[in-house]
Amino acid sequence: MTKPSNSAFVKFLRGHSSDEESQIIQTWIEDSPKNKQEFEKLKSIWTSYEDRTIDFQPDTSDAWSKIQTRIHSDSRFNISPWFYRVAAVLVLGLGITYLVVDRGSETLGEVSPSEPVELLAQNEVKEVNLPDGSIVSLNKGASISYGSDFGRDQRRIQLDGEAFFDIKRDERRPFIIETGATTTEVLGTSFSINPTEESVIVTVVSGRVSFESSGSEVILTKGEKGNYSSLTNSITESVNNDLNFLAWKTNLLQFEDAPFVTVKRDLEKYYGIEFAADQKPVRRLTASFDNQSLEEVIEVISVTLDIKIEQRANGKYIIL
């Protein structure tokens, strides 16, 4: 089976994976003895470092020396290149990780800005300044990577997870983002990319974006979004009516005469909660919440819609 992404392993070992994501990892582990052996080695390294606090500042050289000594102490263990990438993220990835790997060999070279780099946001949203002056905001668990030739003739990166891009305009060097089966190409603009198991959604805030997959291409402009479906292997284009697609970055939730199904969807995504019932209040919501706590938001919604929302013992919320 296809090996899960680096960030998927990191999420799993940190205990942040969904049930579906965990099952994918477990299936891969059980697929072969070698997979199981590599994972157990990763788990061992993670267990040794998981008690580090968020303020811990690792000595990169010393940490890598210890990691490689531990790995190579077992002469029976055949190291794969991806192993180093995930191990580095686990040990050194407090906040955001600058991971440098020689992808053509099975040894880790010294840190050098000219070598391939992977950047990972783990427990919080992170802003990344790229060498060309572009800015990328990574949602929790998202990562980007780019090669040593970035900015030479073109600007090409790989994205795993959700991110917002503010690309510095350069008509000579297009900015290309590879996400799963899709490619997004721009000269200079701002937009978000949100990949899921079955889709990739590109939403444009400013400028013009080319979004394509398997020969199918759409040109998106401000206020439009493209939705790639892996089920149909096609891209559809539409107007973006989702006011909260960037709430993870702005911490701003807005509702304008919104039905409760929309309110429920956006609250679940932003706060990571779940409603237990499908009961839908008749009234619609017009309100704005700027970085407010879940308790404050629920109180306002309850009063406005004349409903009662309670949290049950299982953690889910129910409308009474």
- Asked whether residue 59 is domain-assigned, the answer is yes
* pLDDT at position 104: 34
Share of the chain above pLDDT 70, in %: 74
pLDDT of residue 114: 46
Domain harbouring 254, CATH code = 3.55.50.30
295 alpha-carbon distance from chain centroid:
26
Q: Confidence class of residue 279 from pLDDT cuts 50, 70 and 90?
A: low
pLDDT at position 111 is: 37
Range of the domain at 276: 247-319
Q: Is residue 189 part of a domain?
A: yes
pLDDT, greater one: 185 or 115: 185
Q: How many domains does the chain have?
A: 3
Residue 174, in any domain of the structure: yes
Dist. CA 52–CA 90, nearest whole Å:
11
Which own/partner pairs from 207-210 qualify as long-range (CB within 8 Å, at least 24 positions apart)? 209/184, 209/185, 210/184, 210/185, 210/186
Is the confidence at residue 261, as pLDDT, over 80?
yes
- List the structure tokens of 306: 């004349």
Indicate the length of the chain as a whole number.
320
The confidence score (pLDDT) of residue 54 equals: 39
Are residues 82 and 149 both part of a single domain? no
Within a domain: 119: no
pLDDT tens-place string over residues 201-233? 999 999 999 999 987 899 999 999 999 998 888
Under the banding of pLDDT at 50, 70 and 90, the label for residue 166 is very high
- Same-domain status, 19 and 41: yes
Predicted confidence at residue 44, as pLDDT, reads 72
Identify whether residues 237 and 293 lie together within a single domain.
no
- Segment 176-194 shows an average pLDDT of 93
- 139 and 236 assigned to the same domain: yes
Stronger pLDDT, 36 or 87, i.e. the higher one: 36
